[in-house]
């Protein structure tokens, strides 16, 4: 069997750009430290809203291929080499926002059989044998069908992989502590007159905000802030960056976090907040 790196991190995301917004600093940090970082993206984001006017002619499969190129550029900026598309490029298409007719497309990820999709992901888990897996909570952070489905598929894949021989020691969900969100938006309010953005989002617009006590882990990626910003800029169809802020297609400014936060949902809950996703991973789990 091929020898694996000592530390192995897997992230499961719904669309290209989610990885950079949620975990870009974390991914860059661990990649720089020599860990194997594996990203699994479940769709190509074919139904995303395009920001730049010169790219708004892109839609459907053409947009998906363009966003795949953006994903490759973003992961290069993060130093991440192991990038997978669940089931291969185009296996599952973007489902659109919740409640739209797009959700009924039989080829979209929202309509995928969870066990079948989880079986495909479990194959990657068994190959990579990550000690840490990161994904969304049961609401997908903010209720998008593909994010919810990514959560379901990732959590089921962990179960299937355990049955087949690799039990992932630690599973995390993406989070933002409410106190951090409130402080960041207060700074944004003060800074907004000097930004190229007209309006600010609110704490309630931010995915994954929870009471501080639920957050178990804070990964300081400040040394990799430039890499995260570069990765986000690579997703030019979806994101406009003006550090330390950015906007999506809704044109509402929000903070660009370089410390990224998590809730440990599988593995022994730490007595104090961790600073390392691999904290407590034993030697017996390293191979």
- In angstroms, the CA 150 to CA 72 distance is 20
Contacts 24+ apart (CB under 8 A), 185-189: 185/254, 185/255, 187/255, 188/245, 188/253, 188/254, 188/255
Angle (nearest 5°) at CA 23 between 21 and 24: 75
On whether 15 is known to bind a ligand per the annotation, the reply is yes
On whether 18 is known to bind a ligand per the annotation, the reply is yes
The token pair that represents 71 in the structure block: 């994903």
Query: Which residues lie below 8 Å from residue 274, measured CB to CB, with a gap of 6+?
Result: 216, 217, 218, 264
- In angstroms, the CA 27 to CA 271 distance is 25
- Residue 117 burial (C-beta neighbours within 10 Å; 0-12, 13-18, 19+): buried
Q: Point out the annotated binding site.
A: 15, 18, 147
Q: Point out the annotated binding site for Zn(2+).
A: 15, 18, 147
């Amino acid at each position: 069997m091929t020898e694996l790196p000592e530390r192995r991190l897997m992230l499961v995301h719904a669309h290209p750009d989610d990885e950079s917004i949620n975990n870009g600093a974390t991914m860059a940090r661990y990649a720089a430290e020599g860990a194997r970082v594996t990203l699994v993206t479940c769709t190509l984001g074919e139904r995303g809203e395009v920001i730049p006017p010169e790219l708004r002619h892109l839609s459907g499969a053409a947009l998906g291929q363009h966003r795949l190129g953006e994903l490759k550029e973003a992961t290069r900026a993060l130093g991440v080499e192991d990038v997978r598309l669940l089931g291969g490029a185009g296996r599952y298409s973007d489902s659109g926002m919740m409640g739209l007719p797009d959700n009924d497309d039989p080829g979209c990820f929202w309509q995928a059989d969870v066990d079948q999709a989880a079986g495909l992901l479990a194959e990657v888990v068994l190959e990579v044998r990550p000690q840490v897996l990161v994904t969304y909570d049961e609401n997908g952070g903010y209720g998008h069908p593909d994010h919810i489905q990514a959560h379901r598929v990732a959590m089921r894949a962990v179960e299937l992989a355990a049955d087949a021989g690799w039990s992932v020691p630690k599973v995390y969900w993406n989070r933002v502590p409410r106190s951090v969100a409130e402080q960041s938006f207060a700074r944004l309010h003060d800074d907004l007159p000097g930004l190229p953005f007209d309006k600010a989002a609110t704490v309630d617009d931010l995915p994954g905000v929870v009471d501080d006590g639920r957050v178990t882990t804070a990964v300081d990626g400040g040394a990799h802030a430039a890499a995260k910003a570069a990765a986000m800029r690579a997703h030019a169809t979806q994101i406009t960056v003006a550090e330390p802020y950015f906007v999506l297609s809704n044109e509402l400014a929000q903070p660009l976090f370089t410390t990224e936060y998590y809730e440990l949902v599988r593995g022994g809950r730490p007595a104090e907040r961790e600073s390392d996703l691999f904290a407590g991973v034993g030697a017996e789990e390293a191979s």
